[in-house]
Amino acid sequence: MAFHSVLFVLAAGGGFYTLFSLFCVIRAGTNHKPALSSPSSLGQGLPPVSILKPLRGADYGLKENLASFCRQDYPGYEVLLGLRSEEDGAYGIAREIERMFPEKVRVVAGYEDLGANGKVSNLYRLSQSARHDLLAISDSDMKVDGGYLKTIVSEYIENENTGLVTSLYRISKPVSAGAAFESLSIALDFIPSVFVARVVERGINFGLGASMLFSRERFQETGGFRAIADYLADDYQVGHRLSAKGYKVVLSRYVMEDMEGPMRFWDYIRHQLRWARTYRVSRPKGYVGYGITHFFAYCLFLSFFWPGALAFSALALAFFLRVLGGIAVNRRFIGRAGWSLWLFLLPVKDLLSFAIWLFSFAGRKVGWRGDVYLVTGTGELRRIRAAGPAGKRRTGR
């Protein structure tokens, strides 16, 4: 088959996927109820929750992020902040939060490695200190409003077979070009892919690290944190293993706010490459199929190698549909008019995404907060180089 024929088929497939993903986003947005603005209307009688926050380094806006989890309109909960040692750059902030909310917050410093994934070891130590069966876990760069906990717990108890409630996330106010690229990747690649997976697979069978709520008892049936201590995609493993046990994974209507700071361009590239290789080892068939999503890139290549009315029309259509997708996601899940101004970066973002997708097949190394790992074919980690003590700023999530 000639090269131009291959490009034409890929462009046609990309066009179909783009239309289908747009349909899935609009359909999800219609059924995706907004987070509760008056959480107190849900009343009392909700089960107590332990919020686990694994920390490493002082993230941008960490104090405000952590404080938001301590201001929940919820009858009974605790917040546990976990660190490897008192030398961690986040330790001072964690202690400050503990002093601000002494009845809710406990700092847990010190844990032993269960495996290569230090975050999982941190979570295991926190879970041992937790007083309650329901555990809510979220990344340290997430910020919430007062209705977060009531929303996700209410969704959890709606069905007695629920094993996990997990949440999407957004960057609604990028503060740098790198953060804007990251925001666009979340909005135009990640969020649509989740809804496509939910439609095609009739549900989701994975977790998202932005927020996960599950029962410690039910999670222990899967082997608990010890069973996933060597895996890169720990959030994926939590949801996948609970789903394999027959429990339902619920995608929450609550969308988390990722308070990404002034991310540098190369931090964005590194983070996307790590995400791509994580996706590749977690869902290998799906990741190969993910190549069809690069509609704009294929149309641009057609226009470059075989310029003409048809190719240029396809390129214009690709750009239009991608912008339309961005507007749809913004309207339903981001909700900020100024965010759409970043859509002018879409052509560059889409070409970068295509290049990252190709390059992700070329190796198995990933970096996370200074550590460098080799990812095996099963998604397990082998540490190649360890970072020093976590400092006062982190570079890339």
Residues 185 and 148 in one domain: no
Burial class (CB in 10 A: 0-12, 13-18, 19+), 275: buried
Residues 80 and 101 in one domain: yes
The tens digit of pLDDT for each residue in 262-296 reads 899 999 998 898 888 877 877 777 787 788 899 99
Cβ contact 135:52 at 8 Å: yes
Question: What per-residue confidence (pLDDT) applies to 231?
Answer: 87
Residues 107 and 10 in one domain: no
313: enclosing H helix or E strand: helix 309-329
How many residues appear in the chain?
397
Region 110-138: mean pLDDT is 93
Q: Residue 143 falls within a domain, yes or no?
A: yes
Cβ-Cβ contacts under 8 Å for 103 (sequence gap 6 or more)? none
CA count, 13 A, side-chain hemisphere, 249: 27
Question: What per-residue confidence (pLDDT) applies to 374?
Answer: 73
- How do beta strands 77-83 and 49-54 pair? parallel
pLDDT classification of 41: cutoffs 50, 70, 90: very low
Residues 257 and 326 in one domain: no
Residues 188 and 83 in one domain: no
Residues 109 and 224 in one domain: yes
Judged against a pLDDT cut of 70, whether residue 37 lies above it is answered with no
Q: Residue 385 falls within a domain, yes or no?
A: no
d(CA 56, CA 258) in angstroms, rounded, equals 16
Q: Residue 313 falls within a domain, yes or no?
A: yes
Lowest mean pLDDT of 133-147, 238-252, 263-277, 322-336, name the range.
263-277
Residues 273 and 243 in one domain: no
Question: What per-residue confidence (pLDDT) applies to 393?
Answer: 46
Question: Could you tell me the residue range of the domain that residue 336 belongs to?
Answer: 1-31+179-199+265-360
Q: Residue 235 falls within a domain, yes or no?
A: yes
Quote the number of domains for the chain: 2
Cβ contact 197:204 at 8 Å: yes
Question: What per-residue confidence (pLDDT) applies to 359?
Answer: 86
Question: What per-residue confidence (pLDDT) applies to 39?
Answer: 44
Cβ contact 78:130 at 8 Å: yes
Which of 95, 119, 89 has the alpha carbon at shortest distance from 108? 95
Residues 99 and 149 in one domain: yes
Q: Residue 369 falls within a domain, yes or no?
A: no
Residues 27 and 145 in one domain: no
The tens digit of pLDDT for each residue in 48-103 reads 999 999 999 888 899 999 999 999 999 999 999 999 999 999 999 999 999 999 99
Q: What is the CATH number of the domain that holds 126?
A: 3.90.550.10
Judged against a pLDDT cut of 80, whether residue 242 lies above it is answered with yes
d(CA 88, CA 57) in angstroms, rounded, equals 6
Can you say whether residue 370 is alpha, beta or left, with left for phi > 0 and alpha for psi between -120 and 50 degrees? left
Residues 123 and 236 in one domain: yes
Q: With pLDDT > 90 as the criterion, what percentage of the chain qualifies?
A: 62
Region 330-354: mean pLDDT is 92
Q: With pLDDT > 70 as the criterion, what percentage of the chain qualifies?
A: 89
Residues 96 and 20 in one domain: no
Does the predicted TM-score (pTM) go above 0.85? yes
Count of Cβ atoms closer than 10 Å to residue 227 Cβ: 16
Q: Residue 59 falls within a domain, yes or no?
A: yes
d(CA 280, CA 284) in angstroms, rounded, equals 5
